[in-house]
Every structure is written in structure tokens, then in C-alpha cells.
Chains A and B, each alone.
Chain A
């Protein structure tokens, strides 16, 4: 028996795996198609949101007279108008604007890390990855606050027909409007938040690898690029969630 193993020469024919029609590595292509399938999931959520919203009554009165009711779908500006530390003030969409800025900034620091990786600049990759982790974690903290506020509710709550008041929201009752509104809030922002959390975990993993010089020894920082694709996708989803959930 021979002690040396010889590798088979790679196939080079066009239909033998010898050509790369998309001119991208296996890992990057698979990340793209995973993200496509993930986009279907979020697409399904937003499709359900559109359907549910259009099968409920819209609020037709004046915006200033708006009150929470299970009769109609709430105006988002009236639901998301709180800011940490500024209790009782009406600041429509201010906190969600801050969250959007944090996520866009994290996307920029991520793309800067990828750029540094292309130049094999280990120190810059570390620096920008750390910033991205920081912004990602901050976003998660903001979301935790937002959820807590949504679940606890406002001081006025919602007056029911039998004279009782309900405060906050869970999966079966909701002071801001129809229960479906709260359900979709929990599912859509929750699913997005889970993605951010997984993204932060992945970022920490590649940060440790970068510090240990794994990618430098490998000769390329493609893993940073792949995680970068995922991270930008998370930002992209937030852009859509922001428009369909908070603006429209």
C-alpha cells in the first residue's frame, strides 16, 4: 500500500465544474442564496402585515383626535412616541429614528472592516469589527427598551366598553389596537432582533479569529466579507420594517 496519497486533479471541463459562471466563491454564493431564502421569510411576514392591515378598518378621523381602539388599526406615530428618560413627552418616531441611525452606522463600520480585510490590514479589521459589535449590541439594547415599553403600555391604557382599562400588549390583548397589530409587532421586530443577535454572535466569532490571526495566516479575509453580507442584509430588513411598520 502506498503511503503517499495523490489528490485527483480538479475537473476543468465546462460542465464538469470547471467554470465559474458567477465569478464568486462557493461560500459567498451560498451566503447570497441563504439570504435570498431569509428574505422570503421576512417577505412572508410583511405580506401578512399588509393583508392584516388592509382587512382592518383604517383610522379616518383627524390625527389629533386619535385614540387607541380595537376598531381600527393604530397610527404608528401615536404608538411609538416614547423616548427613554423623557417620560410623558410626545416624541413621535424619535427613538426608532435613533435605532435606524445606529444600524446604518453599524453597516458602514462593517463595510469598512471588509475594506480593511481586502488590504490585509489586521488592525483596521479589528477596530471596525469592534465598532460594528458595539453598534449591534446598542441596537439590541434599544430594542429591549422598546419591547418593554410596548409590553408595559402607557399610563392611560385603553378604555374598554365595560369600563375597565387595559395596559400594554401581549399576544391576546393590546391597548394600541387590534391584537393582531401587537402579534405582528412581536413577530416581525422579534425575528429581526433574533437576526441581529445572531449577527453579533457571528461578529464576535470572526473578531476572535481576526485577533488570533486566523485569517491573516489563511491569506484572505473572505469570512469577514461573508459575515458582512449577512450584517448588511439585517440592516436591509430593518429599512423595510421601518417603512412598513413605523412610517406607513
Chain B
């Protein structure tokens, strides 16, 4: 197989300066979001609202990890959709089966008393 084209700096030996600003910014955002999750975990009583806040913060974290660290934000639209769409369907299945679990619980507690 044909070898890939050589970069210029492999032959010249010069290495460009690292560009890490965006990486550390993403890191700070992830740490910040995790810290916010902990604040909610300790100051708020457990409720559906608190769970919703946790899930929304988690989706934000997932967005930064997949978009920036895994570079999906900068890929072509076709690739982005082929990853996001199946995952959206899995999320739907998750919501559906949680509802199913609640129904099962209701049935067992109400009909077998």
C-alpha cells in the first residue's frame, strides 16, 4: 500500500507549538458541570426536578466530551447523524422501559394487596 504523504516537520525536525487552550477550556467546563451536580446532590431533596437537572447536566457533559474530545463537532454532517440518530432511539427506548417499570410496580402493588 502506498505510504501516506510525509509531513514537512518530520524532515525538517521542527515541531510546532502546542495549541491546548480549547482542551483545557473543555476540561474546566466538565469539572464545573460535575461540581454543579454535586451541589444539587447535597442541597436539594430528591425529586423529579432534581433528576431532570442531573440528566440535563449529563447531556451537556456528553456534548462536550463527544463534540470536543472525540471531535465529532468537526466531522461531516453524515457522520454526526449516523452516530446521533441511533443513540436518540436508544434514549427513547430507555424512557419507554422506565415507564414500563413504573406500570409494573403499580400493577403489583395495587392488584396483589
Contact = CB atoms under 8 A, between A and B. Distances in A.
Contact of B76 (A23, A48, A93, A248): A23
Interface in B48-79: 51, 54-55, 57-58, 61-62, 65-66, 68-70, 75-76, 78-79
Interface string B1-34: 0011111011000011011100110110011001
A28 to B, nearest CB: 9
A165 interface: no
Contacts of B7: 120, 219-220
A91 to B, nearest CB: 11
Contacts of B87: 36, 39, 43
A51 interface: yes
- Looking at chain B's contact residues, the main secondary structure is helix
A47 B94 contact: yes
Contact of A40 (B19, B58, B90): B90
Chain A's interface size range is 35 or more
Contacts of B24: 108
A104 B4 contact: no
- Looking at chain A's contact residues, the main secondary structure is helix
Contacts of A134: none
- Candidate in A104, A108, A115, A247 with the most chain B CB atoms within 10 angstroms: A247
Nearest to B8: A120
Contact of B31 (A36, A40, A75, A104): A104
B101 A112 contact: no
A216 interface: yes
Contact of A50 (B26, B34, B45, B98): B98
A38 B9 CA distance: 37
B101 A75 contact: no
Contacts of A248: 51, 54-55
Interface stretch (A53-61, A185-193, A196-204): A53-61
A50 B105 contact: no
A240 interface: yes
A57 B79 contact: no
B10 A219 contact: yes
A69 to B, nearest CB: 16
B79 A119 contact: no
A51 B78 contact: no
17 contacts: A23-B76, A29-B79, A33-B82, A36-B87, A48-B97, A50-B97, A51-B97, A75-B46, A92-B42, A115-B23, A121-B18, A124-B18, A235-B65, A236-B62, A236-B66, A247-B54, A248-B55
Interface of A: 21-24, 29, 32-33, 36, 39-40, 43, 46-48, 50-57, 63, 75, 77, 92-93, 97, 100-101, 104-105, 107-108, 110-112, 115-116, 119-121, 124, 216, 218-220, 228-229, 232-233, 235-236, 239-240, 243, 247-248
Interface of B: 3-7, 9-10, 15-16, 18-20, 23-24, 26-27, 30-31, 34, 37-38, 41-42, 45-46, 51, 54-55, 57-58, 61-62, 65-66, 68-70, 75-76, 78-79, 82-83, 86-87, 90-91, 93-94, 97-102, 104-105, 108-109
